[in-house]
Structure 1
């Protein structure tokens, strides 16, 4: 599937957050959006999945603006896991995952044999089948996040958006979630688009990076191209020391200092 934006501007009220953004998302790859707080990362994800409307321009999927796509049809093509999923109070893991079948249901909306097979498959592939009959609220943070991902998988979409999927998780659970997404990409060919705060996680797991600042693109490219001192200086106003990840041999940020005030002005000019 080809997904791209064309001169996309997004805002709230009269305030524009993302300005004339044109990007193309690589098919069947993991794309990560990085940038400082408030730069428009989450806003971009919400507009590309039609959670919020855009001011001008277009987000285009397979040659058709998403604004012209029917809600159920769009939900068959792309799924999104927001930063703070809505409460699943009172639901078991299996019930929550079954909600992912909604776009495919007809009539009274009862689960078919195929729906049940897909729900069980999504629970299996996310290693959450043992929680099928347990209340979502009783699970740990990492377990809950995997169940939410299972619900997105149950939609059977080629594209999955995730807004900071590792937020509030400890280091082990963060790695657990990111390795799961990597397996889904490599084993199932899913296109993954996510927002991450951790630069080294972004470098380790992404094939393609989009670096944003103040709603505009600073640079796009591979980890080798983006995790560089000059790019990180422009995006985050930091002086970064870059080394190599001993596991993946990808670039990683070893340490950094804040850019001094006078130098920061020069960076922003």
Structure 2
């Protein structure tokens, strides 16, 4: 049984429907990546799965219970989300930002107890950001900041982490660094990772399960070998792709592609 699944979900904004009649399952303790062209519903789906927006009909179930009926603090102890853009108050230190992950566990005046402090330090160590604990977040590089945001999610101590395009605006080395960190969290701690990625080769390399969306519908879902194929990429992105096997990972890799016109 999958802890998180949807049943015939409809999502949209007002009368504008983005996703309709969508049923899917998120594999437990695996890395799931959602791919698709701009506007296909990837981020909308992520927001609905984490209750940032409400679904109009159907059901989103976590541990056999509708997420709409779950207590907010209890839900925040089960899942964390890193949105596409993050705003940081000027002058906030790394340690202060990571401490926000402890909000679901705080009572009264929100003072941090020893358990909170230990969770913060573990998250900083795990993400390699402990040396920046007392530095201002806005003084860090893009890759360092992203690791700090992930540290905040780790401090929340959830079993499921959602990320919306976590490699955006990062150079190739920092993209790889972030994705390898997420893979490590999955392999070593059994965290369920769900993320939206634009880079197909990154999705193929790091995901155990891929969901390909087009116009709010699932075109194909499954392993990278099942989804990253000439036929699927043609349908989802309207490209004529050459897909081979990566000699280092044995995963599919898109070598080159042309835009298909007139179809």
TM-score range, shorter chain: over 0.9
Q: Distance in 1 between matches of 2:88 and 2:102?
A: 18
| Correspondence 1:74-93 to 2 at 5 A | 74-93=75-94
TM-score (norm 2): 0.98
1:94 aligned counterpart, secondary structure: helix
Deviation, structure 1 residue 101: 0.3
Deviation, structure 1 residue 260: 2.4
| Correspondence 1:69-148 to 2 at 5 A | 69-148=70-149
Deviations 1:60-88 (A, max 9, x none): 00000000001101000000000001224
| Correspondence 1:190-205 to 2 at 5 A | 190-205=191-206
Larger displacement relative to structure 2 (49-58 or 156-165): 49-58
- Alignment of 1:207 with 2:219, yes or no, is no
TM-score (norm 1): 0.96
Deviations 1:14-64 (A, max 9, x none): 000011110000000000000000000000000110101111111100000
Deviations 1:161-217 (A, max 9, x none): 000000000101100000000000000000000000000000000000000000111
What corresponds to 2:159 in structure 1?
158
What corresponds to 1:54 in structure 2?
55
Number of residue equivalences? 262
1:101 aligned counterpart, secondary structure: helix
Q: Distance in 2 between matches of 1:236 and 1:14?
A: 26
- Residue 32 of structure 1 contacts residue 208 of structure 1 at CA under 8 Å; is this kept in 2? yes
- Alignment of 1:254 with 2:263, yes or no, is no
Deviation, structure 1 residue 244: 1.3
| Correspondence 1:158-177 to 2 at 5 A | 158-177=159-178
5+ residue gaps in structure 1? 265-269
Q: Detail structure 1 runs of 4+ shifted over 6 Å in the superposition.
A: none
Q: Distance in 1 between matches of 2:123 and 2:159?
A: 14
Q: Distance in 2 between matches of 1:207 and 1:113?
A: 36
What corresponds to 1:267 in structure 2?
none
1:22 aligned counterpart, secondary structure: strand
Deviation, structure 1 residue 107: 1.4
